Structure 1
Amino acid sequence: MKRPEEAFRSWTSRAGTVKVRNVLNPLLWTIALVFPTSVVAVYLLRDDAILKLVFAALGGAPVLVTLITYIILLFLDPDRLQSEEYQLRHHALQILYRKDATAEIVDIVNEMPRLEIERKQGKDEQ
């Protein structure tokens, strides 16, 4: 079994490698760190009513802010709730469409390169 210091060190090192995927991820990380800490503090300070309320408010504030942010973005700018990868692809498609309205959209993962298609057509004709 790991000692608490080792467990904390491995947890924090993994937290540094998480990629931000959308605008809410930093707020969700704040909830993940502040809320459990506040719950433990409320439990330990259950005899002191004022400190218990302060830590309960401190733990609930990130949850409330995240919910309000989600609702605002849902109506004002829903694309920001999408992943970074989606936003980059969407932006690239918008640029492509602005250049030429008749541009063909090619899925590079599933489509065969055009040179290979032309070579195969040339061999079939011979």
Structure 2
Amino acid sequence: MDWKLELVSVPVSDVDRAKAFYTEKIGFHADHDHQVTEDLRFVQLTPPGSACSIAIGTGMAQAEPGSVRGLQVVVGDVAAARAELVERGVEVSEIEEHPWGRFVYFDDPDGNGWALQQIPTYS
């Protein structure tokens, strides 16, 4: 049986600001943006090439904005991904080298923490 992670909730304080950050600065695709009721808005965003999306919105009983840390996305070339983020105006860390991969880190406008990992190739 396959178990596929489909959606991760990311708590934000300003949905429009977060949506602009994730789509314009990070390059996520906006899958849905639906105002279900006056109190409930659901926005689904997907990283390029990912099978898993994030959800931001209002009325979703989420945690405190900025409280999610350790969100991780795997990329093929962390240096190229870092350069793209810098070009788009994102504050991103320098590359960290570890035996288990190369990493860069950034936060969204609320302080939710992300890591980009380039998995090492072994021969």
Higher strand share: 2
Q: TM-score, normalised by structure 2?
A: 0.22
More helix by share: 1
Higher gyration radius (CA): 1
